[in-house]
């Protein structure tokens, strides 16, 4: 079962990359993947066991994600960067949740 991310930010950085800011999780990500169905939800598979569901993406984020093949993830703990990594974006018909 996916864990819902209650508070997150999606921004476009100066290089035109989509940056997703979420709260930090324990442990390092292992082969992360980002699934996007073209609607207002996405799923970050942080590793083989942990899935993070992102709901209610803004219209601007939806448009930006349609053009991306990877996404930059920043995990924040106490206003400090804990983990930063890229995840390939897989466009799917239905999220695997």
Domain ranges of the chain: 3-91
Determine the pLDDT at residue 97.
72
Tens-level pLDDT at each residue, the chain (97 residues)? 789 998 999 998 887 789 999 999 999 999 999 999 988 999 999 998 999 999 999 998 888 898 899 999 999 999 999 999 999 999 998 887 7
The predicted pLDDT at position 83 comes to: 97
Per-residue pLDDT, 17:
85
Q: What is the per-residue burial (b if ≥16 Cβ within 10 Å, else e) of 27-44? A: eebeebbbbbbeeebbbb
pLDDT (0 to 100) of residue 55: 94
Q: What's the confidence (pLDDT) of residue 92?
A: 92
**Phi-psi map region of 76: left, alpha, beta (phi>0 left; psi -120 to 50 alpha):** beta
pTM recorded for the entire structure: 0.90
Q: What pLDDT shows up at residue 60?
A: 87
Closest-CA residue to 34 (of 95, 93, 81)? 95
């Amino acid at each position: 079962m996916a864990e819902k991310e209650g508070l997150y930010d999606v921004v476009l950085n100066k290089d035109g990359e989509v940056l997703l800011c979420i709260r930090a999780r324990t442990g390092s990500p292992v082969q992360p993947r980002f699934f996007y169905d073209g609607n207002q939800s996405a799923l970050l598979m942080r590793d083989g066991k942990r899935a993070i569901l992102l709901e209610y993406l803004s219209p601007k984020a939806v448009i930006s994600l349609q053009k991306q093949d990877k996404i930059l993830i920043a995990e924040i703990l106490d206003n400090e960067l804990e983990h930063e990594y890229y995840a390939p974006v897989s466009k799917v018909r239905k999220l695997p949740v």
